[in-house]
Amino acid sequence: MSERTWQPGAWRNRPAAQQPEYPDPEALERVLEQIRAYPPLVVPGEIEKLRERIRDAGQGKAFILQAGNCAERFSDCHEEGILNQLKILLQMSVILTYGVRKAVVRIGRIAGQYAKPRSQDYETIQGGRIPVFRGDSVNSAETTLEARTPDPQRLLASYYYSAMTLNHVRALIDGGFADLHHPHNWDLDSIGKSRNWSQYEDVIARILDAIQFMESFGGARSSALGRIDFFTSHEGLLLGYEEALTRKDPATERYYNLGAHMLWIGNRTRDVRGAHVEYSRGVANPIGIKIGPDLGPEELLELIQILNPDDEEGRLTLITRMGLEHVEDALPPLADAVKRAGRRVAWSCDPMHGNTRLVNGGVKTRDFGVVLEEVKYAFRIHREHGSRMAGVHFELTGEDVTECIGGGDELTSQDLAGRYETACDPRLNYSQSLEMAFLIADLLKGQDPHS
């Protein structure tokens, strides 16, 4: 099927992995028809702006910070939860911008990340076999057969919660919440617990001093310091929902997914002949590809050709999630292949998903030190192979949770029970996220041979 004849429903002719089994397909179609009639959540102009920012990152002029919850919950849609997510991303981006003097492209895993792929379709609870929890947009985390049965009404709820979340984020930004004149608006309740707080305060003091100096000489416009770009992203997993939010732009005749600025294809759904790749190739949004250690160079180049045949800059972000034990062997041949082929992509590192392990009889966690080591390896490998690390991709929260061990707080497996709140994978907490930002800023300084 050529690009000219591509339609949003073309994916239905391909094998579609990770799709829920709804007991009433007709009820599902009725819900999707409702969503098709709803207004879009984002507009093509915003999506094109993000494409430009990712292009800049691929060229070394900016750096991508893509981060947020593993899986959003509908219960996260409240003022404090949204504020805390925005605060930690703003603080991290200030640290990175100040440390390396590059613009930071802020992309939240927010306002739509309500579904998750799973390694198994079912699990056994108290002797009974029930579907696994696939995220609030599919079913409930409660461990009953009724709660775990996929419910299409939850797709409507996903739209509503995404719209409410995005509305509040936009209102905060438009209302001056991100104004660099008032960075202490971004302080979180747990900020004093971070061992990096004094270092962060020093950065803020220097920035405020510089702003005052420049404004006194007319060298900085106050209005420019009060506005930021903030973009949303989620895994384009539930293809019926994504199709329902796909619209043709009459000005350009291009199809856009107007449910988020950016979508990514997961490591479990990147089959070159599969439905997710077929859907993603037809929309004009920036697309991410999660890349695990089992993806070879030839398959990667085939994916790049399918998803970006015209080699448009800013279109593709390759998000490696190798795991520390695999990254040194798996990443170099991929970086070499892409470089030899002359393909223009933005490389990012997701050091979280390949480094999950079980402790305490089955509790998922990640070790801060191991996560950091994969980031270090990725920076070094790209530098040595003439490539460039354009960004990072983290699962984190602004909350004071205890889900990942290590970091400045020196959390151990015995601390996990304190505030282990994730519904799926463990996230860096506020203190660990702030510390990671400083460490990444150090890695970025002087690491780019192209600068």
pLDDT (tens, 9 = 90+) of the chain, 451 residues, equals 345 589 999 999 999 999 999 999 999 999 999 999 999 999 999 999 999 999 999 999 999 999 999 999 999 999 999 988 998 898 888 888 887 788 999 999 999 999 999 989 999 988 889 999 999 999 999 999 999 999 999 999 999 999 999 999 999 888 877 766 556 665 655 455 556 667 767 776 766 656 555 544 454 444 444 568 999 999 999 999 999 999 999 999 999 999 999 999 999 999 999 999 999 999 999 999 999 999 999 999 999 999 999 999 999 999 999 999 999 999 999 999 999 999 999 999 999 999 999 999 899 999 999 999 999 999 999 999 999 999 999 999 988 899 999 998 889 999 999 999 988 899 999 889 988 998 998 898 855 434 3
CATH of 3-117+152-444, one of 2.60.40.420, 3.20.20.70, 3.40.50.10800, 1.20.1530.20: 3.20.20.70
Q: Is 0.85 surpassed by the pTM of this model?
A: yes
Closest CA to 108 of 126, 127, 86: 86
pLDDT at residue 193, as a whole number: 54
For residue 29, give Cα distances in angstroms to 243, 248, 419: 12, 20, 39
Who's near 311: CB < 8 A, 6+ residues apart? 342, 343, 344
Closest CA to 365 of 327, 403, 315, 398: 403
Q: How many other CB atoms are found less than 10 A from the CB of residue 103?
A: 16
Residue 217 tokens read as: 């000489």
297-307 CB burial, b ≥16 within 10 A, e <16: bebbbebbeeb
pLDDT at residue 220, as a whole number: 46
Which residue matches tokens 């991100």? 178
* Contact call for residues 350 and 339 (beta carbons, < 8 A): no
Give the separation between CA 105 and CA 111, rounded to whole angstroms. 17
What is the phi/psi pair of residue 207, to 5°?
-65, -45
Residues present in the chain in total? 451
